[in-house]
């Protein structure tokens, strides 16, 4: 099978991204498909709780940050001007760098006319790789207190194989970490819940994906727990509802024990099978 990247995202947190991602990964493996699960929610990765992988490789990830040689610096200010993140300040003839604000774009290095800037690495976290049954497992763990997650997410996504299905479990929201996670996906699954909060954040996520021009559909979790507004919105915007996961206490109980729904409650296997089929056969 050619490479297929499915990103699972949501506006609101706690709607069920990891539930959908991990169950999709396991169901794909049960069908003997080559599948990888990549947890890009590097601030609080939790897919490992359900997939329980054995980790066989750990790699440190660093962001390149500038170091200024004061002997060569002429205080021209070009580095400060190009930096969009206020990571370089110029006060008179003193250049200050703020490594914790640096996104590692390398712009300052490029524009420095005297070659006064070199780069050094600043560690932001680790990528761990392993295996869970026949699901290939990758996740990133951001260093505690670190704010710069996109470079680590990029490092996780660099592990996407050129073949097979890759399921990218994204962080919640609509900011840089999410955009970094969904970028390049062949299809995005937006998981939501039928509540006013779920709807509000779903709309934000839909607007983000439309700007990124990525194809997407919606999975409604706890589908019978709230109101109809999410469904009305999807129908008025011609957005496909790919699956409805019922508000079943047993799913929550399995989740709380770190068990996958498709394993603890085999009757849900068909729901995730049809979702996977819907995405891979119908949508792509």
Partner 1 sequence: MKVAITAREGSADSAIDQRFGRARYLIVVDTDTGQTDTVDNEVNLNATQGAGIQTAQNVAALNVEAVITGHLGPNAFRTLSAAGIRAYTALQGTVEEAVEELKAGRLEPVESADVEGHW
Burial (Cβ within 10 Å: 0-12, 13-18, ≥19) of residue 160: middle
Using CB under 8 A as the binding rule, whether residue 76 contacts partner 1 is answered as no
Nearest C-alpha neighbor of 38 from the set 130, 172, 124:
130
Using CB under 8 A as the binding rule, whether residue 74 contacts partner 1 is answered as no
Using CB under 8 A as the binding rule, whether residue 204 contacts partner 1 is answered as no
Q: Which of residues 217-236 bind partner 1 (CB under 8 A)?
A: none
Copy the structure tokens of residue 152: 């680590």
Angle, helix 17-30 to helix 269-277, in steps of 10 degrees:
90
Copy the structure tokens of residue 60: 């440190």
Nearer CB in complex with partner 1: 83/135: 83
Using CB under 8 A as the binding rule, whether residue 44 contacts partner 1 is answered as no
Using CB under 8 A as the binding rule, whether residue 3 contacts partner 1 is answered as no
Q: How far apart are CA 153 and CA 176, in angstroms?
A: 10
Nearer CB in complex with partner 1: 94/200: 94
Catalogue the E-assigned strands of the chain. Answer: 4-9, 35-39, 54-68, 88-91, 94-97, 117-132, 135-142, 165-169, 187-192, 216-220, 241-244
Using CB under 8 A as the binding rule, whether residue 91 contacts partner 1 is answered as yes
State the Cα torsion 79-81-84-88 to the nearest 10°. 50
Nearer CB in complex with partner 1: 102/275: 102
Among 86, 114, 120, 123, binds partner 1 (CB under 8 A): 86
Interface stretch with partner 1, choices 43-51, 90-98, 120-128, 199-207 (CB under 8 A): 90-98
Using CB under 8 A as the binding rule, whether residue 90 contacts partner 1 is answered as yes
Using CB under 8 A as the binding rule, whether residue 145 contacts partner 1 is answered as no
Among 92, 228, 249, 256, binds partner 1 (CB under 8 A): 92
Kindly state the number of chain residues that form the binding site for partner 1, as judged by CB under 8 A. 13
CB of 159 to partner 1, least distance (A): 28
Copy the structure tokens of residue 233: 């919105």
Return all residues near 30 (Cβ < 8 A) that are at least 6 apart. Answer: 262, 269
CB of 85 to partner 1, least distance (A): 6
Nearer CB in complex with partner 1: 85/121: 85
String of contacts with partner 1 for each residue 93-122, x by CB under 8 A: -x-x-x--x---------------------
Return all residues near 65 (Cβ < 8 A) that are at least 6 apart. Answer: 87, 97, 99, 102, 104, 119, 120, 121, 122
Nearer CB in complex with partner 1: 80/159: 80
Residues that bind partner 1 (CB under 8 A): 80, 85-87, 89-92, 94, 96, 98, 101, 147
């Amino acid at each position: 099978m050619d490479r297929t990247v499915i990103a699972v995202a949501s506006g609101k947190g706690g709607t069920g991204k990891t539930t959908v991602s991990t169950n999709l990964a396991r169901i794909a493996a049960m069908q003997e498909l080559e599948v990888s699960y990549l947890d890009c929610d590097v601030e609080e990765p939790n897919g490992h709780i359900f997939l329980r992988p054995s980790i066989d490789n750990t790699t440190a990830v660093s962001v390149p940050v500038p170091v200024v040689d004061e002997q060569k610096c002429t205080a021209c200010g070009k580095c400060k001007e190009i930096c969009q993140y206020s990571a370089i300040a110029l006060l008179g003839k003193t250049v200050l760098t703020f490594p914790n604000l640096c996104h590692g774009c390398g712009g300052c290095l490029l524009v420095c006319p005297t070659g006064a800037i070199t780069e050094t690495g600043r560690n932001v976290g680790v990528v761990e790789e392993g295996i869970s049954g026949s699901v290939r497992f990758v996740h990133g763990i951001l260093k505690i207190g670190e704010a710069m997650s996109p470079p680590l997410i990029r490092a996780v996504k660099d592990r996407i194989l050129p073949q097979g299905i890759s399921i990218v479990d994204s962080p919640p929201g609509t900011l840089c970490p999410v955009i970094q996670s969904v970028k390049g996906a062949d299809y995005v699954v937006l998981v939501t819940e039928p509540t006013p909060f779920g709807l509000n954040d779903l709309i934000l996520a839909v607007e983000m994906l439309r700007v990124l021009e990525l194809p997407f559909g919606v999975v409604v979790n706890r589908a019978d727990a709230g109101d109809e507004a999410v469904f009305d919105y999807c129908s008025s915007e011609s957005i496909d509802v790919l699956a409805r996961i019922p508000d079943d206490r047993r799913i929550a109980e399995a989740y709380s024990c770190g068990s996958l729904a498709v394993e603890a409650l085999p009757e849900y296997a068909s729901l995730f099978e049809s979702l996977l089929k819907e995405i891979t056969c119908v949508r792509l």
